[in-house]
Amino acid sequence: MRFDVITLFPDFFSSPLSSGLLGKALEKQIAYLHLVNPRDFTQDKHRKVDDEPYGGGVGMLLKPEPIFAAVESLPILPRRNIILMSPQGQPMNQPLLRELAADYDQIVVICGHYEGVDERVRHLVTQEVSLGDFVLTGGEIPALALINGVVRLLPGTVGKEQSLKAESFETELLDYPQYTKPAVFRGWEVPPVLRSGNHGAIERWRSHQQIERTRDRRQDLWEKWRKLDSEE
């Protein structure tokens, strides 16, 4: 899969893109990532990418010309999605990441800044995505989260792909509690069922823990799971 990130701050991605599973996936060419700076497509000597909004207001807006030029400079793969990272977009969640990983060969991510982008930039995009109901200084952090979430779903990134199916949100439930050695730490003991060797009992315990944990911590997900479970 190819990622093209339109960003005023390409250096922001240097360390994350060379670290952990994401760095290994790029090294193994499971995914390809290209960083494009809109300043490289400006026509004035100051490389100006922002300007005051028409009608007045606080702050500056990203101009449309450099962003259009940056996107139009990219190759076009058959299955391409152009995403604007925006607080007004669709909330990022696991089903969305699965959809992006399965349905596209190329994802172009536009990182907003300042007070946002000129409204006409939205004519470029096919989707808007939000990291959550809050505002950050720019779109780079949400873009990195999206790229990380998609790349780890691509075949070959995670060593044991079966582990992806047992994670939080894959069944609308949170993950179950997990433990490793030692069996007792500062008086806290690993549940005996996990040391019993009885795989059926372990699966039942884990399933029960997922339901209880989701009900106690994320009532919204629990209600959604109940509805889906009742329809099956």
Helix (H) / strand (E) element for 88: namely strand 80-91
Question: Which pLDDT score is estimated for 194?
Answer: 96
Residues 26 and 92 in one domain: yes
Using the structure block, give the residue that is written with the tokens 């960003």: 7
Using the structure block, give the residue that is written with the tokens 């509690």: 177
Question: Which pLDDT score is estimated for 106?
Answer: 98
β-bridge partners, 2: 32, 106
Residue 150 above 60 pLDDT?
A: yes
pTM for this model (two decimals):
0.86
pLDDT digits (tens, 9 = 90+) for 67-98: 999 999 999 999 999 999 999 999 999 999 99
Q: Which domain holds residue 86?
A: 2-151
Question: Is 216 part of a structural domain of the chain?
Answer: yes
Question: Is 11 part of a structural domain of the chain?
Answer: yes
Residues 41 and 138 in one domain: yes
Residues 145 and 187 in one domain: no
Using CB atoms within 10 Å of the CB of residue 77, give its burial: 0 to 12 exposed, 13 to 18 middle, 19+ buried.
middle
Residues 59 and 172 in one domain: no
Residues 139 and 201 in one domain: no
pLDDT digits (tens, 9 = 90+) for 85-136: 999 999 999 999 999 999 999 999 999 988 899 999 999 999 999 999 998 9
Question: Is 157 part of a structural domain of the chain?
Answer: no
CATH classification of the domain holding 123: 3.40.1280.10
Residues 142 and 191 in one domain: no
Tally of domains in the chain: 2
Residue 142 above 60 pLDDT?
A: yes
